[in-house]
C-alpha cells in the first residue's frame, strides 16, 4: 500500500489555513480496492483522537484535506467540552459511497487505522454504515460503534442531548425550562431532527417543521400535530425557539436578520457560516447554543458505550449537556462574550490544564 499521490503539494499542507496545531496527517492509498483517504489527527492531549470516517466524492484532494483538517479540530473541541478523555481526529475517504464503496475498501482503511497504533480511533460518519464499521473492525481494534463496542445508532443520544440543550436554553432566556405551550421551528427531520421534534411534542411544544423529504414532513404532521413550512423559511418562523437540525452554515448574514425566535438551539453541525454571525446573533438578543456543545450526545454514546453497562452511563453523561450549556450561557453573559467563544475557551482551558499536569 503506497503513499497517496495527489495534487496536494507538501507546502500546501504545511501552509494550509486549517493546519493549526495538527499532530499528524496521513495520506493513504490502496490501488487494489481504490482506497484514497486522509486521516487527520489534531490533538491527543486528552487521549486517543476519536472521530468518524466520512466517505464523500470530493471534487479534488485539496477539498478533502480541508474537510479532514477542519473536522478533526472540531472533534478535539467537542470531545474536550463533553468531558471525554479523548482527543480529536477525522478520516475522509474520497469516493462516492453509492458507487465506489466496498467491503474490501473499508477493510483496507481499517488496516491503515491499525498502523496508527491507537493514536486515532475511527467511527461511523457521513456515507458510512454500521456494516462498514464491522469491515473496518476486522483489521483494527481502534474502532467504535460496532456490535462489539457500541449501543447501535447514536442518533437517539444526539437527539436526547439536543432536547436537554433546548430546555437549558429556554431556562436561560424565559426563566424556566417548561416547554408546554412554547413554539419551536424544527428544520430537518432526519433521524436526529425527528426524534428532537418527538420529544418537544411530548413536552407540550407546538411544532413548525420542515424538510426536503416530504414523507418525513407528512409523518410529523400526522403524529406530532405539526405545521409544515418550506425549509427555506424555517428560520424566519414566528416562534420562541428555532432548532436547525439539517445542513450547516444556515446562520448567516442573510438569515439572521429574519430570525424571530429568541433561542437558536439545534443538532446541525457548523451552524454559523462565519464567526461574525455569532456576534450578529448576540447583537440581536438571540441566544445561540453552540452546535458542538449541544450535539455531543452521539460522540458520548460512541466513546462511553460498553456492552455490560447498557446505556445508563451514556444517558447520564448526555443529560449533562444541559448543565454544560447553562455554564456557557452564564459565563458568556458575565464576560460579555458569545456562547461559542466561551465554549471554545472552556475546551481550550481543559486542554491547557491537561498539558501542564
Contact 210, 234 (CB under 8 A): yes
What's the rounded Cα separation, in Å, for the pair 239 and 152?
34
What's the rounded Cα separation, in Å, for the pair 320 and 325?
9
User: What cell numbers appear for 215 in the block?
Assistant: 414523507
Residue 78 burial by CB count (10 A; 0-12/13-18/19+): exposed, middle or buried?
Answer: buried
330 is catalytic: no
Helix (H) or strand (E) holding 263: strand 263-264
Q: At what angle do helices 61-81 and 339-356 cross, to 10 degrees?
A: 80
Helix (H) or strand (E) holding 173: helix 155-174
**211 Cβ neighbours under 8 A, 6+ residues apart:** 187, 188, 189, 190, 193, 217, 231, 246
Which is the catalytic residue, given 78, 90, 282, 317?
Answer: 90
- Residues classed as catalytic: 90
Amino acid at each position: 500500500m503506497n503513499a497517496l499521490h495527489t495534487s496536494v503539494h507538501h507546502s500546501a499542507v504545511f501552509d494550509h489555513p486549517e493546519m493549526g496545531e495538527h499532530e499528524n496527517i496521513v495520506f493513504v492509498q490502496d490501488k487494489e480496492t481504490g482506497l484514497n483517504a486522509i486521516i487527520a489527527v489534531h490533538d491527543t492531549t486528552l487521549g486517543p483522537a476519536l472521530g468518524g470516517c466520512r466517505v464523500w466524492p470530493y471534487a479534488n484532494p485539496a477539498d478533502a484535506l480541508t474537510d479532514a483538517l477542519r473536522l478533526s479540530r472540531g472533534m478535539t473541541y467537542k470531545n474536550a467540552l463533553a468531558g471525554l478523555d479523548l482527543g480529536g481526529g477525522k478520516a475522509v475517504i474520497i469516493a462516492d459511497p453509492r458507487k465506489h464503496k466496498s467491503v474490501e475498501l473499508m477493510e483496507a482503511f481499517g488496516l491503515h487505522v491499525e498502523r496508527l497504533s491507537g493514536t486515532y480511533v475511527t467511527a461511523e460518519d457521513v456515507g458510512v454504515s454500521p456494516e462498514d464499521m464491522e469491515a473496518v473492525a476486522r483489521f483494527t481494534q481502534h474502532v467504535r460503534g460496532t456490535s462489539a463496542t457500541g449501543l447501535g445508532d447514536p442518533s437517539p443520544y444526539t437527539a436526547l442531548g439536543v432536547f436537554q440543550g433546548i430546555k437549558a436554553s429556554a431556562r436561560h432566556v424565559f426563566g424556566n425550562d417548561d416547554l408546554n405551550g412554547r413554539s419551536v421551528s424544527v428544520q430537518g427531520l432526519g433521524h436526529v431532527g425527528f426524534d428532537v421534534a418527538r420529544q418537544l411534542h411530548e413536552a407540550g411544544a407546538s411544532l413548525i417543521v420542515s424538510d426536503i423529504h416530504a414523507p418525513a414532513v407528512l409523518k410529523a404532521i400526522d403524529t406530532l400535530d405539526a405545521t409544515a413550512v418550506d425549509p427555506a423559511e424555517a428560520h424566519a418562523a414566528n416562534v420562541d425557539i428555532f432548532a436547525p437540525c439539517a445542513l450547516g452554515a444556515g446562520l448567516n448574514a442573510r438569515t439572521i436578520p429574519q430570525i424571530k425566535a429568541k433561542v437558536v438551539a439545534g443538532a446541525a453541525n457548523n451552524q454559523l457560516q462565519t464567526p461574525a454571525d455569532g456576534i450578529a446573533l448576540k447583537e440581536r438578543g438571540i441566544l445561540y447554543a453552540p452546535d458542538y456543545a449541544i450535539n455531543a450526545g452521539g460522540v458520548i454514546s460512541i466513546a462511553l458505550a460498553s456492552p455490560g453497562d447498557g446505556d445508563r452511563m451514556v444517558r447520564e453523561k448526555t443529560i449533562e449537556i444541559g448543565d454544560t450549556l447553562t455554564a456557557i450561557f452564564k459565563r458568556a453573559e458575565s464576560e460579555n462574550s458569545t456562547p461559542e467563544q466561551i465554549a471554545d475557551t472552556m475546551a481550550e482551558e481543559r486542554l491547557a490544564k491537561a498539558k501542564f499536569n
